[in-house]
Amino acid sequence: MSSRTQNFLVPIISIILGLIFGAIVMAVSGYSPVDGYIALWNGIFGSSYNFGETVRTIIPYVFAGLAVAFAFRTGLFNIGVEGQLIMGWFAAAYVGFAFELPMIIHLPLAILAAALVGALWAFIPGILKARLGVHEVIVTIMMNYIALRSINPLIAAVTDGAERTPKVHESASLRSDFLQSITDYSRMHWGFIIAIIGVIVMWFILEKTTRGYELKAVGFNKNASEYAGMNVKKNIVLSMVISGAFAGLAGAMEALGTFNNIAAMSSLPGIGFDGIAVALLGANQPVGVFFAAILFGSLKNGGINMPNEAGVPNEIVSIVIALIILFAASGYVIRLVLDRMGKSKKEVK
């Protein structure tokens, strides 16, 4: 069986196994798996409002998954997407409400600000990794909590002590009267187009540019890349910066689309950590990440309907997601089984 076929089958098998074991958990817990999954489906597609909210939920997962996947593809572990997302969220919200500009300038400026601040937040662990050899996992995890503890004072500083920023001006908002009208006033916004563009950009950088080839080469083997004349330190920093920019864009989608502001936080939002699972399930491929984000966003939003319609707790959805991650992380075992099945068929022939 070809590696391309396996890359296609492993995530699908992981999802199926996760749903099967999720059904078993529901049954053992005394809930109807059929009613539970019907409620989940209705929560995703049951109404135009639910569908709009599902799309809205998917958008930041696309960028979070791309951020993690880009770092993984270049040999780095960016566990700091959460912090980069928060800082990008703040930057987009601030530019969105603090300035009054024409939409053609204001909206791109707010999005760019989020990407730049996210990139800057990722630059710190990148430069420490490149210059001092400090492991990026340790630094990025700490940077998450630095971002969390910094965001509330930043919000207070720009709002004279308030716990949330004012709403961004319409010229910086991704919301649309048209999208709201066709989705029964959901929070669906134009960010889904930017997410698709993000997928294309990551694919183009990694697969169609010399710099992308260098980034992947450094990730595969730093010593061989250096021997070939590549600037290893520069590529390590650049990889983290690009990854951080994707994470910052995830924050921009929340600031300019979903909430139109940023409020004081007492805990990490969790989107960045879920991005790790999205990247893993998507095999660190841009298109794979896109479909994995659709799955995660759908489960997250659809799960809200499970307690109301089927009496199934939201925790069951978390268990299903965790089981999918478990099987995705055990992809080697699934690949091994597929390889043996392929060999068995050849022997029979």
CATH code: domain 48-303 is 1.10.3470
Give residue 290's pLDDT band: very low, low, confident or very high (50, 70, 90).
very high
In the prediction, which pLDDT does 324 show?
73
Type of residue found at 57: T
pLDDT digits (tens, 9 = 90+) for 174-204: 999 999 999 999 999 999 999 999 999 999 9
Give residue for tokens 């539970």.
36
> DSSP string of 183-215?
TTS---BTHHHHHHHHHHHHHHHHHH-HHHHHH
CA atoms of 241 and 310, how far apart (whole Å): 44
Highest mean pLDDT among 10-19, 119-128, 208-217: 119-128
How far apart, in whole angstroms, are the C-alpha atoms of residue 303 and residue 227? Answer: 51
Q: Identify the weakest region by mean pLDDT among 8-17, 32-41, 68-77, 299-308.
A: 8-17
Q: What type of residue is 117?
A: V
Question: How would residue 340 be classed by pLDDT, with cut points 50, 70 and 90?
Answer: confident
Pick the range with the lowest mean pLDDT from 15-24, 130-139, 260-269, 312-321: 312-321
pLDDT at position 349 = 57
- Please say whether the beta carbons of 189 and 176 come within 8 A: yes
Instruction: Give the model's pLDDT for residue 344.
Output: 66
The pLDDT, as a whole number, for residue 279 is 93
Chain region(s) in the chain for CATH 1.10.3470: 48-303
